[in-house]
Amino acid sequence: MNWPLRLRIVLQRFWQPTCACMTCMLGSWANVMSAAHWIIAIRTGFLTSALALVLTFTPAARLFRERTGNALMVGLLACIGDVVSHRSGYAHPVLEHVATGVTSGVLAWIAWYLLEARARRLRALWAWIARR
């Protein structure tokens, strides 16, 4: 795996868990402008991207090349990053971390679906809207 591909994986593994963490964190919609919430979410994204970078040097890197394997890896890494980043704010100690992992995996799957082949699906949708 070359370095530009590793950099792309790191950047993608940063934004997806960060957005998922902000979405799933207790009170995050009410506190979307809170610096404390953003710091926790960015820390989760950073830890997830660091774990993804380490995995690119192992045989597990091949999972990043397919849509479902990528989504599963992102979800698992986001869950681990969230556990390391902060304590759960929900009543059950792991519910927030699992929700963050699942949300991050879904975001990764949707992003792959929409952005593959230089975002051909988004470009087709835009062309269809422009014709109307």
Estimate the crossing angle of helix 67-85 against helix 3-24, to 10 degrees: 60
pTM score: 0.83
Q: Which amino acid is at 98?
A: V
Per the structure block, which two tokens stand in for 64?
């990043």
- The pLDDT score that the predictor gives to residue 128 is 95
- The candidate with the shortest Cα–Cα distance to 70, out of 112, 20, 115, is 112
Distances (CA, A) of 11 to 5, 15, 26, 50, 90: 10, 7, 25, 10, 28
- The pLDDT score that the predictor gives to residue 43 is 93
pLDDT tens, residue by residue, 50-98: 999 999 999 999 998 888 999 999 999 999 999 999 888 888 889 989 9
* Residue linked to tokens 């997806």: 16
- The pLDDT score that the predictor gives to residue 36 is 86
- The pLDDT score that the predictor gives to residue 28 is 67
Q: With contact defined as beta carbons under 8 Å apart, do 35 and 42 qualify?
A: no
Domain residue spans in the chain? 3-131
CB atoms within 10 A of CB 127: 9
